[in-house]
Chain A
Amino acid sequence: MLFFSYFKDLVGREVTVELKNDLAIRGTLHSVDQYLNIKLENTRVVDQDKYPHMLSVRNCFIRGSVVRYVQLPPEGVDVELLHDATRREARGG
């Protein structure tokens, strides 16, 4: 649940999601669910010349199972808060 809550706090921020097929999509985080499926708005593919496959897509749903990385804005990360949450999780809530 930690990462679900964590991503919910990042809603509205700009993130880059790199998929397991090497495609990287940048956009505004719209929502996340329990499977860490991600919905992005105002999307653009990072290397559009190499990957013109999504040129006419501006909003997309990314299945959690194909996400390799999510690049976060540095200001969206509160390390102290995350440390505490991780310890709490490790203790079993």
Chain B
Amino acid sequence: MSTGPGLESLVDQTISVITNDGRNIVGVLKGFDQATNIILDESHERVFSTKEGVQQLVLGLYIIRGDNISVVGELDEELDSNLDLSKLRAHPLKAVIH
């Protein structure tokens, strides 16, 4: 279906994934399927906390199972480079409760 909200347009782009357990993983989308399983390259996790700025953990090549995905956002490189992650403080996102 060409009009549906597939992830085709995001392939090879940097995306920000929010998982059902509240994690935020940023990486380059390399592949996906019907079930929203996705392959992320050069990925890292952004860990939010109220005590210190955002920590980045290197993860590398990752596959995330679709069941565990909440949101896939297109990361706007310009907006992102203007963000000072070391100054951002927030509670981690809550887990999804179905």
Number of A residues whose C-beta is below 8 Å from B?
32
Given contacts A50-B90, A51-B93, A53-B48, contact A60 B73 (CB under 8 A): yes
Determine if B98 is an interface residue (Cβ-Cβ < 8 Å).
yes
Given contacts A38-B5, A66-B20, contact A54 B96 (CB under 8 A): no
Determine if A22 is an interface residue (Cβ-Cβ < 8 Å).
yes
Closest to B72 in A: A61
Determine if A58 is an interface residue (Cβ-Cβ < 8 Å).
yes
Shortest distance between the CB of B51 and any CB in chain A (Å): 15
Over the window 20-41 of chain A, the binary record of Cβ atoms lying under 8 Å from chain B Cβ atoms (1 yes, 0 no) is: 1111010000111110011100
Given contacts A20-B98, A21-B93, A21-B95, contact A60 B74 (CB under 8 A): yes
The answer to whether B5 touches A57, judged by C-beta atoms less than 8 angstroms apart, is: no
A80 to B3, CA, bound (A): 27
Given contacts A31-B3, A33-B4, contact A66 B16 (CB under 8 A): no
Chain A residues near B56 (CB-CB < 8 A) = none
Residues of B bordering A, CB below 8 Å: 1, 3-7, 10, 16, 18, 20, 22, 24, 36, 46, 48, 66-67, 69-76, 79-80, 83, 88, 90-91, 93-98
- Can you pick out 8 interface pairs between chain A and chain B where the beta carbons lie within 8 Å of each other? A21-B20, A23-B18, A33-B4, A43-B73, A50-B91, A56-B76, A56-B79, A59-B74
